[in-house]
Amino acid sequence: MLKIGCHLSSSKGFLHMGKEAVSIGANTFQFFTRNPRGSKAKPIDEEDVRAYLSYAKEHEIERIVAHAPYTLNACSADEKVREFALMTMKDDLERMEYLPGNVYNFHPGSHVGQGIEKGIDWIASLLNEILTPDQHTIVLLETMSGKGSEVGSRFEELADIIEKVECKEKIGVCFDTCHVYDAGYDIAGNLDGVLKEFDQIIGLEKLYAVHVNDTKNPFKSHKDRHEKIGEGYLGTEVLRKVVHHPLLAGLPFCLETPNELEGYAAEIKMLR
């Protein structure tokens, strides 16, 4: 059964998100662990989590994707900024233990002039401080578009980070269709070729989630502006191929397109 859903607001809790997901024909979803600007997280509501877990089981919601605030920068030149990313992610992972077996995605960060190598080192060392062998969450590096000095727009960069991480069984990758196309991987013309390259450089066994987005910008634009499915440069057929690709079977597919619930429901239906 195809696992597909979208990004949902977490402000009303987990049970609310679960019900919202079901109401739009989704069987997975993504949420921000806290305000995306990176403010303090609300304490975990254990009763809400318990209610969600039984609702999720009943409705076959299997793997959900937590997303770290996108303002974190694990490879900033500023130690305080790196420390803030570390504390936030550590706290998020502790809270994720209430929902074991899911994934936690983050943007690797921007090296802001220090160079890719230095950026990769900072990210790996942060991960080495927060990953533990007994945690129940896999932490995912998101493939990026290469806007500004973003690390992670080349598969090689993600592979280098993973190579430096000690707890390898707790690290994976989230593949964003808008970002990879913007970064210069031609999933519109050669999806099989891109997946093969991913497999050779990172390994498909490291792939744990997919963000399904169309893009407002042409190939290799390094822009990162998501578009509704079918209204951008990728188009419906390419994205339908992605969600039904045999090599990606079983992964959670989350839409992050500019939509309200109604629009998401229509895109989910169309892609199914």
Binding residues for Fe ion, per CB under 5 A?
142, 176, 211
In the list Zn ion, Fe ion, none, the entry touching 111 (Cβ below 5 to 8 angstroms by class) is none
In the list Fe ion, Zn ion, none, the entry touching 211 (Cβ below 5 to 8 angstroms by class) is Fe ion
What does the binding site for Zn ion look like in residue numbers (CB under 5 A)?
Answer: 224
Residue with tokens 């590096």: 141
Residue with tokens 């802001």: 112
Residue with tokens 């609702």: 55
Q: What residues pair up with 175 in beta bridges, in sequence order?
A: 210
Q: For residue 42, which amino acid is it?
A: K
Is the Cβ of residue 15 or residue 216 nearer to Fe ion in the bound state? 216
Is the Cβ of residue 157 or residue 176 nearer to Fe ion in the bound state? 176
Is the Cβ of residue 15 or residue 152 nearer to Fe ion in the bound state? 152
CB of 11 to Zn ion, least distance (A): 21
Produce one character per residue of 154-187: b if its CB has 16 or more CB atoms within 10 Å, e if not: bbebbbbbbeebeeeebbbbbbbbbbbbbbebeb
In the list Zn ion, Fe ion, none, the entry touching 224 (Cβ below 5 to 8 angstroms by class) is Zn ion
Determine the longest span between alpha carbons in the chain, in angstroms: 49
For 165-233, the DSSP string reads: -S-GGGEEEEEEHHHHHHHT--TTT-HHHHHHHHHHHT-GGGEEEEEE-EESS-TT-----EE-TTSSS
Are residues 243 and 212 in contact, defined by beta-carbon separation less than 8 angstroms?
yes
In the list Fe ion, Zn ion, none, the entry touching 34 (Cβ below 5 to 8 angstroms by class) is none
Is the Cβ of residue 15 or residue 259 nearer to Fe ion in the bound state? 259
CB of 79 to Fe ion, least distance (A): 24
Is the Cβ of residue 20 or residue 176 nearer to Zn ion in the bound state? 176
Is the Cβ of residue 61 or residue 73 nearer to Zn ion in the bound state? 73
CB of 154 to Zn ion, least distance (A): 16
In the list Zn ion, Fe ion, none, the entry touching 216 (Cβ below 5 to 8 angstroms by class) is none
CB of 179 to Zn ion, least distance (A): 6
CB of 36 to Zn ion, least distance (A): 12
CB of 35 to Fe ion, least distance (A): 15
**Region label for 46, one of left (φ > 0), alpha (ψ between -120 and 50) or beta (otherwise):** alpha
- Can you tell me the distance from the alpha carbon of 171 to that of 163, in angstroms, rounded to the nearest whole number? 10
Give residue number: closest CB to Zn ion: 224
CB of 66 to Fe ion, least distance (A): 11
CA angle, corner 80, sides to 74 and 84, nearest 5? 55
Residues 6+ apart with CB under 8 A from 60: 1, 27
Is the Cβ of residue 7 or residue 82 nearer to Fe ion in the bound state? 7
